[in-house]
Structure 1
Amino acid sequence: MRPAARAGGLVLALVATACTAAPPTTPANAPQGTGSLADVPAVSARALPTVVKVLTGGGNGSGVIYTADGLILTNEHVIRGASSVQIAFADGRRSPGTVRAVDVATDLALVQTDRRDLPVARFQPQLPVIGELAVVIGSPLGFENSVTAGVVSGLHRELPGSASETQALVDLVQTDAAISPGNSGGAVVNSRAEVIGISEAYIPPQAGAVSLGFAIPAATATDIAEQLRTTGRARHAFAGLEPTQITPQIATQLRLPSTDGVIVAATVPGGPAATAGLNPGDVILTADAQPTRRPEDFLGVLRRRAPGDKIALTLRGPDGQQRSTELTLTDRPAFSQ
């Protein structure tokens, strides 16, 4: 297994495998018919042909067929450091693949193969419903065409402490369907065999977890995939600040009333935060009226915004006074990708 990430004391595993083998909300336009375990055989038969195994020199993961002309969507950490890979299809055939574009911020990548007329995965554009059927398809530990099933356990999940490791682990779909090393980049599908998420990570049992897996929402995955496909890079909202968790030590040192909130550790000169009047030492209490108790909360709000959007912030300054301001997001510059 590749090294696990530590997130606020949790050991969080990004689910590629080595050769050594705030309350969630339900969308108003939620689909009807959430499915049951009785649907799994039919769902699997429809979805399995659209999921592949991705092999690199250092291990393997999974992927989803994005276009009929051989474009595969997977996780960036699956193909990290590789320019070429091997793709194993559900029909038993293999094909070489070339890494076409990657986006580290969302942990997504596109791989181009030379196969054509492939079965294409269907993606559900809206968020799933909590409690609906979730079927995970991929190649855990190298076992191709593996299926596990459960339900969607939560939405808008941010893993505590993950902001210090990666920005990819925010605004995720949670499921209790088993996700294991090698599932990375594979599909989480609903009762209509539509992709509702791309498998991303899980918290392993040694961390005290039972069936805690996470996936990138389908809408995020397709948005990034289209940007990578058309321009070779993805645009992300940029606030121009370094959000940091308030530890008890920091709270004591700065005489803060609690550890709730995101402290601004630094700002980028001339960036959105500096332009809006934010300074190191300011504490972000809310973003667009949503409490920001930890950096992952702030990054989750940021993930759902685009360059040019404005976000309303409630701040507490070093003097203890609260104030409100509006910050205009820009496109993330290349140096911070």
Structure 2
Amino acid sequence: MSCATRPMRARGLAAVVVAVVLALTGCTAPEEPEQENGTAVSSATAAPGGNDGNAGGPPDAVDIPQIIDDVQPSVVTIFLERGGLGSGVIYSEDGLIITNEHVVRGAEEVQVAFADGQRVAGTVVASDVVTDLALVQADRTGLPPAEFQTELPEVGELAVVIGSPLGFENTATAGIISGLHREIPGSATNSASLVDLVQTDAAISPGNSGGALVNSRGQVVGISEAYIPPQAGAVSLGFAIPAGTAVEVVEELLEDGSAEHAFLGLAPRTVTPQIAQQLGVSAEQGVVVLAVENGGPADEAGIRAGDILVSLDGEPLASAEQLLAALRAFNPGETVTAELIREGENSEVDIVLGERPVRNG
């Protein structure tokens, strides 16, 4: 978690970050669903293995071409003036598009290309760095909004990725949901967004960012976010923001242009044997506090640089990324109990969570 908005105490202790690529091309940097803002939102739990909901019977054959035909009109390509591109998903019929914040970072105006070949101007109307989500208003109406499943999919369920990898518009890849609640190791050093993700082996490539991860019923279960490249030793490791997170953040952005996030006001780093030795502690896992924001929630609770957080509200913490993911479950103003180790002694402190400051860029 970044605390760059205010002075911090104590610095140091480096970590190795796993190579992760945000999937952006050409840039440097069975109930009827509810209708929300013209967007179909379903809370029905996904049926495992591509089952279309026929409980107790064998799963029906999955018609992947039909899924793609149904969903492609709801997925767009976003072009930036500086030459980059990404993907997006139609959120409402009046032209509201959801994409990644990193796709449109630094841009106010973009071009939006639709599956029918039409291309129109778009305006970036809101963004949220913490979850890496943004909204683009396209100059077009009468669009087919995607249906979002706000419940998490199940591991092993069919997964189809639709987007524009490397600029190849309307591209689809298929696989399964490989895992849930994933955090990218080492990502907390630079980003708060690469936590609590859906993992898939459906290929995600540069340009897929902001596109759709779809289930066997054509429902969006995630917004494509990142992948670990082959040169890091990975094979088919892609990640998406859960649709439930996306819908929640979008609704907040539509309300007042910002999304609220719980804030501790400290810089975390995963404990390693080297760090534990340096601090003279025997902790095998936890989160070391590198720095504390003056006057922030952690500072007010008496947390100091060098403390090791081992649990938050009873949930063990094995990494800095787990801490960031755990904070997603809380709101500003709530009180959480943190167990920590200081100079070899265990203790507990209550922390009144603050609201994460809004950062530009």
Would you say same fold, with TM above 0.5? yes
2:295 to 250, 270, 273: 270
- Per-residue CA distance 1:186-225 (angstroms, 9 max, x = gap): 0001111111100000001111100000000111111111
List per-residue Cα deviations over 1:32-82 (Å, max 9, x = no partner). Answer: 354178331121111111000000122111000011111110011111121
Partner residue, 1:163:
188
Indicate how the Cα distance of structure 1 residues 59 and 336 shifts in structure 2: closer, same or farther if over 3 A, else same. closer
- Given the alignment, which residue of 37, 46, 52 partners 1:31? 46
Tell me the distance in 2 between the aligned counterparts of 1:11 and 1:105: 19
TM-score (norm 1): 0.91
Q: Tell me, in whole angstroms, the C-alpha distance in 1 between the residues paired with 2:73 and 2:131.
A: 25
- 2:25 corresponds to which residue? 17
- TM-aligned CA distance change 1:207 to 1:128, over 3 Å: same
Q: Which residue of 1 aligns with 2:80?
A: 56
Give 2:96's aligned residue: 71
Structure 2 distance, partners of 1:311, 1:107, is 25
Q: Deviations over 1:233-263 (max 9, x none)?
A: 1111111211123344332221111451101
Quick one: distance in 1 between partners of 2:358 and 2:237?
34
Q: Is the 8 A contact 1:309 1:328 kept in 2?
A: yes
Q: 2:312, 2:338 within 8 Å by CA — same for their partners in 1?
A: yes
1:9 deviates by 4.1
Does the 8 Å CA contact 2:181/2:198 hold for their aligned counterparts? yes
1:108 corresponds to 2:133: yes
Aligned residue in 2 for 1:220: 245
Aligned partners of 1:19 and 1:60 also within 8 Å: yes
Query: Residues 144 and 236 (structure 1 numbering): CA distance in 2 closer, same or farther, change over 3 Å?
Result: same
- Retained in 1: the 8 A contact 2:17–2:187? no
Does 2:350 correspond to 1:300? no
Deviation track 1:294-320 (CA, whole Å, cap 9, x = no partner) reads: 1101001012222122322111112x1
Which structure has more relative contact order (CA 8 Å, sep 6+)? It is 2
Q: In structure 1, how many angstroms separate the alpha carbons of the residues matched to 2:122 and 2:359?
A: 28
2:350 aligned residue: 326
**Distance in 1 between the 2:359 and 2:74 partners?**
35
Q: Contact 1:8/1:162 (CA < 8 Å) preserved in 2?
A: no
Instruction: Give 5+ residue unaligned stretches, structure 2.
Output: 1-14, 29-42, 52-60
Alpha-carbon separation, structure 2, partners of 1:102 and 1:280:
31
Partner of 1:202: 227
- CA separation in 1, counterparts of 2:360 and 2:317? 22
Gaps of 5+ in 1: 1-6, 21-27
Bigger shift: 118-127 or 304-313?
Answer: 304-313
Q: What is the aligned partner in structure 2 of residue 256 from structure 1?
A: 281
Q: Does structure 1 retain, via aligned residues, the 8 Å contact 2:223–2:242?
A: yes
2:4 aligns with none
Q: CA deviation at 1:95?
A: 0.6
Task: Quote the sequence identity (%).
Answer: 55
The answer to whether the 8 A contact 2:265-2:298 is kept is yes
CA distance in structure 1 between the aligned counterparts of 2:197 and 2:180, rounded to whole angstroms: 6
Partner secondary structure for residue 10 of structure 1: coil
Count of residue correspondences: 323
Residue by residue over 1:111-138, the C-alpha shift from the partner in whole angstroms, topping out at 9 and shown as x without a partner, is 1111111000111111111111111000
1:292 positional shift: 1.1
| Cα separation, 2, equivalents of 1:155 and 1:199 | 14
Amino acid in the other structure paired with 1:118 = L
Matches within 5 A, 1:87-236: 87-236=112-261
Give the AA of the match of 1:67: S
Give secondary structure in 2 for the equivalent of 1:11.
coil
AA at the equivalent of 2:252: Q
1:238/1:331 contact within 8 Å kept: yes
Aligned position for 2:110: 85
Aligned-partner residue type, residue 162 of structure 2: I
Task: Indicate the SS of the match to 2:318.
Answer: coil
1:40 counterpart (47, 64, 77): 64
Cα distance in structure 2, aligned partners of 1:336 and 1:62 = 22
Post-superposition offset of 1:29: 7.3
Output the CA distance in 1 between the equivalents of 2:259 and 2:17. 31
**Matched residue SS, 2:127:** strand
Aligned residues: CA RMSD: 2.0
Partner of 2:340: 315
Q: Distance in 2 between matches of 1:67 and 1:329?
A: 33
The answer on whether the counterparts of 1:16 and 1:61 sit within 8 Å (CA) in structure 2 is yes
State the SS of the aligned residue for 1:90. Answer: coil
What is the identity, as a one-letter code, of the residue corresponding to 1:40? Answer: I
